[in-house]
Amino acid sequence: MHVIFRKLKIYQPLNLPVRSVAFLAHFSLLLAFFTSWGQASPLLPTPGQPAPTYSLSDCLQLALDRNPEILKAQKDIERTQGLIITAKSTLYPQLSLNGRLEERNDDLLNQGTDPSIQRFRDFWVIQIIATQSLYSGGINRQQIAIANLQHQASMIQFQATIDLVLKNVKYAIYAIIVNQAQINAEEQTIDLLNKQETQQKALFDAGRTTRFNVLRIQVNLGNQKSILYQTQESLTASEIALAQLLNIPWPRNQSPFYPPFLIQENMDCPPVGNVKVEDLITLALNRRPELQALDRQIDIDERQIKIDKAALVPRIDAYVSDQALRDQNVSSFNQSVNEYAVGLLGTWNVFDGFASKGLALTDTSNLGIAHISRDQTSLQIQNEVREAYARLLTAQQTVASQTANVKTAEESVSLAQLSADTGYATLLDVLQATLDLTAARTQEIKTKQLYMDALADLERAISLKFVDWPKDGTTTTAPALPSTLPAPLVTPSSSLR
């Protein structure tokens, strides 16, 4: 998984202050730079060809490239770029062009017989106006800052989406691995029971055993097959869930028991060492995108309150206009008069019916809610780290214990079979030892799944991959976060290639 984690490094949470406009202008250049960084995406399934085999790293890469939630989060970054452009429009002059053409009667209500009064007059005006905002009470500046914060929040949310999607992909992969291993263990048990059934039938035909022993074998064999069928169904459900996460459609007219891909991966359960839970909590509080997004929201609400208060401050705009109109004393459209104007326009909303006061009260309440949400999220993240860390330590002990138990169960089956051949054990002893071995293998697989699930939860809780955790208590503070922006994702085409 080293290669995929190298690429995911650029997706670590962003500790971005309120950046300058120039920084955000370079966003597209940074995206283009990171486009070519990282491993190539695995090949997608091709109709009529054998299903490709994916590892965990392959599935993580496919999720980054194809998962709909990640693609939508990327589109939201593009949306907030548009907000920045809109907010910055107040820095530039506004140019408008308008015209009017009309034919009117000088006296529509009292039409006399005087030809000088009873006449129609043609009239037209073409006007071009350029305006520039000079002073808005700080509204323009705050709106640009809010747009920048919203853009940063969308990038932070992009990281949070990636963390959650990758955790779900790991969950799906581990479920598939467990089901595959459990199917393998159950098939081995069925093979042993089939051999025992054949042996007992031979002994029964020779008059050396009873029919009870044959029936007991057959009952256990039927029960084991039923468990195998249920596990196969669970495997199919896990494969369907993974296909949904990877946005890979199931081939039409194909049995659900034949997935479009195969999974091959080992759950190695890497030891966590002597890492301190308080160090992990420190990392989580510094790195979790949700907290950083709430920090931006608090800043946005504070600036919105300033905008509400500035609504009652006078505004000053400069304008330049050029107007062409027909001289009213001339009846020809070819003769006109040009008028030029330069000036200042002041606007002061002296009383707005308490609208700005109501908006300020609303945004003040939103600011209080944002502070409460941040405190709540901070406590929730700390609890997530502690809970996942406790599950990880418990699973680590259970895996070590269960691995040793499997070896004991394997030795027990061998001794039971040997004792039964020499007459020192009964068939029931062999059956029980066989079922105990299956149960031990199944339990070992499930405990490994619990371990890897807890590890995935902890990686997501601190938004940091396991290989970068502080080890042996040597790191007590959060490392510096990269300031690079997330790499762009290529939207997959509708057809699989």
DSSP notation for 243-303? HHHHT-PPPTT--TTS-SSEE---------TT--HHHHHHHHHHH-HHHHHHHHHHHHHHH
- Is pTM beyond 0.75? Reply is yes
For 146-189, the three-class secondary structure string (H helix, E strand, C coil) is HHHHHHHHHHHHHHHHHHHHHHHHHHHHHHHHHHHHHHHHHHHH
Q: 142 in helix, strand or coil?
A: helix
The one-character DSSP state at 320 is: E
Contact residues for 166 (Cβ-Cβ < 8 A; gap 6+): 8, 60, 63, 64, 460
| Other beta carbons less than 10 A from residue 114's beta carbon | 9
pLDDT tens for each residue of the chain, 497 residues long: 333 333 333 333 344 443 333 333 333 333 333 333 345 678 888 777 888 999 999 999 999 999 999 999 999 999 999 999 999 998 999 999 988 776 655 555 555 555 554 444 556 788 899 999 999 989 999 999 999 999 999 999 999 999 999 999 999 999 999 999 889 888 888 888 888 888 888 888 888 778 888 888 889 899 989 999 999 999 999 999 999 999 998 877 777 778 889 999 888 888 887 888 998 999 999 999 999 999 999 999 999 999 998 888 899 999 898 887 765 556 555 666 678 889 998 988 888 889 888 999 999 999 999 999 999 999 999 999 999 999 999 999 999 999 899 999 989 988 888 887 787 777 778 878 888 888 888 888 889 999 999 999 999 999 988 888 876 544 444 333 333 334 433 333 333 33
Going along the chain from its start, the domains and CATH numbers come out as 61-102+122-468 (1.20.1600.10)
Q: Where do we find the tokens 């499997």?
A: 406
| Other beta carbons less than 10 A from residue 284's beta carbon | 22
Burial of 108 by CB count in 10 Å (0-12 exposed, 13-18 middle, 19+ buried)?
exposed
